[in-house]
Amino acid sequence: MPSDRPLRIGTRASKLARWQSDWVAAELTRLGSRVEIVEITTRGDVEQLGPVAGIGVQGVFTKEIQAAVLAGEVDLAVHSLKDLPTEQVSGLVLAATPPRENVADALVTNAASSLGELPAGARIGTGSLRRRAQVLHLRPDLLVAGIRGNVDTRLRKLDDGEFDAIILAAAGLTRLGWASRIAEHLEPPRMLPAPGQGSLALECRADDLATQAIVGQLNDPATRLGIVAERTVLAALHGGCSAPIAAWGRLDGDLLRVDGLVASLDGREVLRASTLVELAAEADDNAARLAAAEQAGHDVAATLRSLGAEAIILAARQG
């Protein structure tokens, strides 16, 4: 990257995406870099009707930004990590995963103080098959309906009475200053998050070593270990947004705990698996720790497959 121009950050234009890219820009500025933010419209932003899974392609919120990085139009992409497909795009590298926000889902409602207090038949809005399945498992008497749009759009639909409650990521609400809207945190293991939920993904060109060195200063090793395990579960099950799959990896000293879940769309079948792995204690043995995290994800996925996960995933994809 020429020293006479700023590092260009590519991002979606939603309020949450801008908060995330503005945070990255502020951190890089603090570290001495000049930055410029470039807004990019993705297919997921344009096609707002129907569920994301119905668009039929992976990376509906990331592909256009990744293409801009590869074309040299921007130097760095900032994604919500849960939107990033598990298959690595040739020519790109995940340069950093900054410290993670709260991984939990959040219930937002004006009608009750908790999921348990919602009346039977209450209409719940979510665009996530994973959330749908887990909510119906906890409360099969509720009516779960699809909802699309940015966080502020979904909150407006709730306030306008289209839904009795909605479920969003606690991280997004907190980042946008709307934590006070949360009626209840649906904390794991009660409700497992999407792989990468609450995390950011900072992606740049594989041959752009200068940008990698700059952005790498924002990487949080503990966050990276957890999301490597989670994304491995998703990849090993050949999941994506078209199946109710959840995973939660977190570091406890030198122990990595990983939980995985596969559920039927109606919430009646829920398969769970977990593992606990002791990581190499040496802080500089990062490759070994990452390899162990990846293996932990494979182990959880293998257990889920042995319990019948593949049949549930296939049925979910068929609707």
Nearest to 264 by CA among 316, 307, 191: 316
Phi/psi of residue 145, nearest 5 degrees: -125, 155
CA 203 to CA 199: how far, in whole Å? 13
Nearest to 128 by CA among 223, 39, 196: 196
Beta-sheet strand order (sheet of 255-263): 245-252, 255-263, 270-278
At a CB cut-off of 8 Å and minimum separation 6, what does 158 contact?
108, 109, 110, 125, 165, 166
Q: Does 83 participate in catalysis according to the annotation?
A: yes
Cβ atoms of 202 and 76 within 8 Å: the answer is: yes
Q: Looking at beta carbons, which pairs linking 171-179 to residues 24 or more positions away fall under 8 Å?
A: 171/100, 171/101, 171/102, 171/103, 171/197, 171/198, 172/16, 173/106, 173/108, 174/101, 174/102, 175/16, 175/19, 175/20, 175/23, 175/101, 176/15, 176/16, 176/19, 176/151, 176/152, 178/151
Q: Of these residues, 75, 83, 164, 259, which one is catalytic? A: 83
Whether the CA torsion 43, 48, 53, 56 is positive or negative: it is negative
> Looking at the annotation, which residues are catalytic?
83
